[in-house]
Amino acid sequence: MFRTLNTRLVFSHLAVALVSVILVYAFAGRAIFQAAEQQAENRLEDLAFATSNALEEPMDYFMKGDVSLSNVQVTVAHWLADEPELHYTVYLPDGTPIIDNIDVEPARVTEDSAPEVLLALDDNIGEGHTIRYNKFGDEMFYVAVRIEHENDLFGLLRLGVPAQNVFAPAKGSMSALFIFMILIVAGVGIAGWLLGRNLASPIDHLTRAAHQFSGGDFSIRTHPSGPQEMHQLSETFNSMASRLEQNINQLRAFVANASHELRTPLTAIKLRVEALRAGATQDAQVSERFLAEIESEIDRLTNMVNDLLDLSRIEAGMDAELYTWVDVAALAQETSDIFTVRAQKKCISLEPELTTTVPPVWGHEDQLRRVMDNLVANALEYTPEGGQVKVSVHSVENPKGVQVAIQDTGPGIDEKYLPHIFDRFFRIGGTDTRKQNSRSTGLGLAIVKSIIEVHRGQIIVQSQPGEGTTFVINLPTRGEDLPKSQK
């Protein structure tokens, strides 16, 4: 029953509202009834004292036998004429009732019949009051006062009004208050419902979007709405969905590319094998050439598969235990030394320009060496004879780290290819292997980029056709969240 956000909010609002309304109602009710009682008491008291003053003389004379009882009756009736609801009784000082406007057989004063009169006899100012049931079963509000002059007691006057009359206006106020309270509770309930809807509807939207997404509609996004937190959640969902969609698309593209790339050498091998079967083996020279070509295609396939395996290994962040502090300047020196022979063969000058005081970088040494190897190999490969390749390493501040630049005087890269240069399998000139180094897979720069990224670094390429190409790498001294030292 209380499972949805909306019902929970409505019921919690109602519960809080009900409790506070009941408390307010109880306290206000008490105050209202007390005020009504006080007011009635004051009014009745004033009336009783005024009447008792007027009765002093007639009662004095009556008791002396100078006037008849009707004289007293006229005076009482005259003073209380404006109060038709009033029940009044006049007693002699000994408690004998002599006048009563309602009760034809009024009782003598006793603790039961007129306790307020006993109170008035005992009281300093000569007044007593009670709220009690009379002998007819009606709840009454009684006030009794002494009729006296200085120390002479002539009698007692008691006035009574039905409690119903006293509390009627209070009851009216309580009914009005009750209706008002009901309206408040209803209002709070509606507010809870609106709030619940305001919260629940963006959650519903998000749930539906997540459902559709898990059902395969990767383009689904939600429209952020509702409170700030829901807004953020929707935005986070959207960016997560975008990332996933992008990744899924990249994965699909990768599978398509990989299949295509693998198919090309496989087709080449298959064709050569068919040719050999069909009789090419007769010609020793031809069969020798075909076998060499098959071997080279197999090498290419092996390279490609190894590169792909390495790439997924790098991206999965494996080999965490191999992280150490790496001297990038020393690596650059090493790489330049290794490639000197290849550079000399092509008459390319390969000059390292190193600062010996670069800070060490926390990283995977073999992977970082591979970055150098790939970039220097590319520079040497794509730079024509007589060119120049420069490898420079220096430290940078903010963020603290090392910058490596590999610059060549090669043909440069056309602007339209720059955004794709780090894509897997991307080679300028497409897949036509005859134009390229037969071992080339187009995975070199993708591997470089992945390695730099797992080291929390950046790589950019600057190139102008005809002006050469520069790859610039920034490596932080220690990327946050990189594997910890095993020592």
Ligand X SMILES: Nc1ncnc2c1ncn2[C@@H]1O[C@H](COP(=O)(O)OP(=O)(O)OP(=O)(O)O)[C@@H](O)[C@H]1O
Where along the sequence are the contacts to ligand X (CB under 6 A)? 374, 378-379, 382, 408, 410-411, 413, 421, 426-428, 439-445, 469
Q: How far is the CB of 440 from Mg ion (least distance, A)?
A: 6
Q: How far is the CB of 311 from Mg ion (least distance, A)?
A: 13
Select from ligand X, Mg ion, none the partner in contact with residue 428, using the beta carbon and a kind-dependent cut-off of 5 to 8 Å.
ligand X
Q: How far is the CB of 439 from ligand X (least distance, A)?
A: 6
Q: From CA 374, how far away is CA 445, in angstroms rounded?
A: 7
Comparing CB distances to Mg ion, the nearer of 62 and 422 is: 422
Q: How far is the CB of 468 from ligand X (least distance, A)?
A: 8
Do the beta carbons of residue 90 and residue 109 sit within 8 Å? Answer: no
Comparing CB distances to ligand X, the nearer of 141 and 471 is: 471
Q: How far is the CB of 381 from ligand X (least distance, A)?
A: 6
Residue among 265, 217, 268 at smallest CA distance from 241: 217
Query: Is 444 among the residues that bind Mg ion (CB under 5 A)?
Result: yes
* Amino acid occupying residue 483: P
The backbone region for 5, taken as left when phi is positive above 0, alpha when psi lies in -120 to 50, beta otherwise, is: alpha
Comparing CB distances to Mg ion, the nearer of 444 and 468 is: 444
Comparing CB distances to ligand X, the nearer of 40 and 380 is: 380
Give SS3 for 412: coil
Structure tokens at 467: 């002006």
Query: Is 202 among the residues that bind Mg ion (CB under 5 A)?
Result: no
Q: At what angle do helices 5-64 and 163-214 cross, to 10 degrees?
A: 180
Query: Is 378 among the residues that bind Mg ion (CB under 5 A)?
Result: yes
Comparing CB distances to ligand X, the nearer of 48 and 376 is: 376
Phi, psi of 218 (to 5 degrees): -75, -10
Residue listed under structure tokens 């000058």:
349
Please give the residue whose beta carbon sits closest to ligand X in the complex. 444
Q: How far is the CB of 460 from Mg ion (least distance, A)?
A: 17
Do the beta carbons of residue 39 and residue 45 sit within 8 Å? Answer: no
Residue listed under structure tokens 């006057």:
157
**Selected range binding Mg ion among 18-26, 228-236, 440-448, 453-461, rule: CB under 5 A:** 440-448
Select from ligand X, Mg ion, none the partner in contact with residue 426, using the beta carbon and a kind-dependent cut-off of 5 to 8 Å.
ligand X
Q: How far is the CB of 304 from ligand X (least distance, A)?
A: 8
By CB under 5 A, how many residues form the interface with Mg ion? 2
**Selected range binding Mg ion among 32-40, 273-281, 437-445, 474-482, rule: CB under 5 A:** 437-445
User: 143 CB contacts (<8 Å, ≥6 apart)?
Assistant: 41, 44, 45, 48, 116, 127, 128, 129, 158, 159, 160
Select from ligand X, Mg ion, none the partner in contact with residue 421, using the beta carbon and a kind-dependent cut-off of 5 to 8 Å.
ligand X
Select from ligand X, Mg ion, none the partner in contact with residue 226, using the beta carbon and a kind-dependent cut-off of 5 to 8 Å.
none
Comparing CB distances to ligand X, the nearer of 11 and 382 is: 382
Q: How far is the CB of 386 from ligand X (least distance, A)?
A: 15
Please give the residue whose beta carbon sits closest to Mg ion in the complex. 444
Select from ligand X, Mg ion, none the partner in contact with residue 449, using the beta carbon and a kind-dependent cut-off of 5 to 8 Å.
none
Comparing CB distances to ligand X, the nearer of 222 and 374 is: 374
Phi, psi of 115 (to 5 degrees): -60, -30
Residue among 127, 119, 122 at smallest CA distance from 147: 127
Span 289-348, contacts to Mg ion by CB under 5 A: none
Structure tokens at 351: 């000059």
Please name the helix (run of DSSP H) or strand (run of DSSP E) that holds residue 64, with its range, or none: helix 5-64
Comparing CB distances to ligand X, the nearer of 290 and 422 is: 422
Q: From CA 398, how far away is CA 400, in angstroms rounded?
A: 5
Q: From CA 36, how far away is CA 413, in angstroms rounded?
A: 98
Q: How far is the CB of 285 from ligand X (least distance, A)?
A: 30
Comparing CB distances to ligand X, the nearer of 272 and 427 is: 427
Q: From CA 302, how far away is CA 34, in angstroms rounded?
A: 100
Q: How far is the CB of 259 from Mg ion (least distance, A)?
A: 21
Comparing CB distances to ligand X, the nearer of 13 and 427 is: 427
Residue among 266, 278, 361, 362 at smallest CA distance from 323: 362
Q: From CA 392, how far away is CA 451, in angstroms rounded?
A: 19
Select from Mg ion, ligand X, none the partner in contact with residue 441, using the beta carbon and a kind-dependent cut-off of 5 to 8 Å.
ligand X
Q: From CA 306, how far away is CA 260, in angstroms rounded?
A: 17
* Amino acid occupying residue 445: L
Please name the helix (run of DSSP H) or strand (run of DSSP E) that holds residue 78, with its range, or none: helix 69-79
Contact positions toward Mg ion, by CB under 5 A? 378, 444
